[in-house]
Amino acid sequence: MSTFALPQKFQNWINKRNWGLHTHQIDVLTNSDRKSQLLIAPTGSGKTLSGFLPTLIELDRVNFSGLHTVYVSPLKALAADIKRNLMIPIEEMGLNIKVEDRTGDTTAKIKRRQRIDPPQILLTTPESLALLISFPEANALFANLERIIMIRPLFLWGISIHLFLIRL
């Protein structure tokens, strides 16, 4: 297995859990500056951590305002699970990172606020994302977007998500 020098805060967190990074996680980190990556790995192999670790590291290093990463899930329940799991390293390492979801269950008040003051990480569904990109302020909202994480991307094409990707 190759090695990757994690920032000390992150290495300490992984060590505390008696974990080690898998090869695919190191590969995602090593190539995080690429325009796109495709990760295929078995269930339970740390795909969520693989997808979000570059974002967490980047957001811990710089004072980033606005939407940095969008996670698109085919199911709102999965987005909620991901949020719950993502908050563990954020809280345990004391990272100052704002994570929110945007699904059919999100209140109209929160949705309005997210259009002007988005979180750094937004977890959403294809339907909610399609609505979000239809608003006039979408170009400004997504102007500084650094990363899109998708689960089962082939499922998303039926929701015309390709229009969103084309806009970027």
Q: Does 3 have pLDDT greater than 90? A: no
**What pLDDT is stored for residue 117 in this prediction?**
94
For residue 112, count other CB atoms closer than 10 A to its CB.
11
Specify the pTM.
0.86
* Segment among 36-45, 60-69, 84-93, 101-110 with least mean pLDDT: 36-45
- In angstroms, the CA 138 to CA 141 distance is 5
User: How does DSSP classify residue 124?
Assistant: E
For the chain, what is the mean pLDDT? 85
Nearest one of 123, 144, 133 to 166, comparing CA atoms: 133
For 149, the enclosing helix (H) or strand (E) is strand 147-150
142: pLDDT confidence band, cut at 50, 70 and 90?
very high
**What pLDDT is stored for residue 61 in this prediction?**
93
**What pLDDT is stored for residue 42 in this prediction?**
72
- In angstroms, the CA 78 to CA 125 distance is 9
For residue 88, count other CB atoms closer than 10 A to its CB.
12
